Every structure is written in C-alpha cells, then in structure tokens.
Amino acid sequence: MDELFDEWVKRVEQDILALLRKTKTMSASQIAGTLKLSEKATLSVIYGMAQQGTVRITGIQSTE
C-alpha cells in the first residue's frame, strides 16, 4: 500500500513540475484544479516538494 502511495506522489510531483516549467508560478488552487486533485492533497505534495528543495513556496494570502 505504501508503495502505491509513493508512486502516486511521485507522479503528482512530476505533473506539478511539468506545469511549473510551463507557467513558472501557479497557486496551489490552480495546480489542484488543473490536476483535478483536492487542494489539501495538492498542498501536501507541494509541502513535501518544498522540504526536498524541488520547489520554493513564495507566498501566502489571507482569505479575509
């Protein structure tokens, strides 16, 4: 089961990197919509990528 999840995460990471190569910057919500994933799942993968140094998180915005 862990192996399946790890493969899924790697595939999503590759998809995110492919999007960012084309657009340079996107919000987590835009990435989630494009990949048809929940924003929560997308943020989780992005956070892991940031910890690995694959991407850089450069902004956060208030919802108020």
Residue by residue, DSSP assigns 2-64 as HHHHHHHHHHHHHHHHHHHHHHS---HHHHHHHHT--HHHHHHHHHHHHHHTSS---------
* Domain limits for position 38: 14-52
Residue 20 lies in a domain: yes
Question: Rounded to the nearest 5°, which phi and psi values hold at 14?
Answer: -65, -40
Whether residue 64 lies inside any domain: the answer is no
61, part of any domain: no
Q: Is residue 4 part of a domain?
A: no
pLDDT at 4: 95
pLDDT at residue 60, as a whole number = 82
In a domain, 39, yes or no: yes
Q: Tell me whether residue 36 is in a domain.
A: yes
Contacts of 45 (CB under 8 A, 6+ apart): 9, 12, 13, 16
Confidence tier at 59 by pLDDT (50, 70, 90): confident
- Give the total number of structural domains in the chain: 1
Average pLDDT over residues 5-17: 97
Band (pLDDT 50/70/90 cuts) for residue 31 is very high
Tell me what the mean pLDDT of segment 15-30 comes to: 95
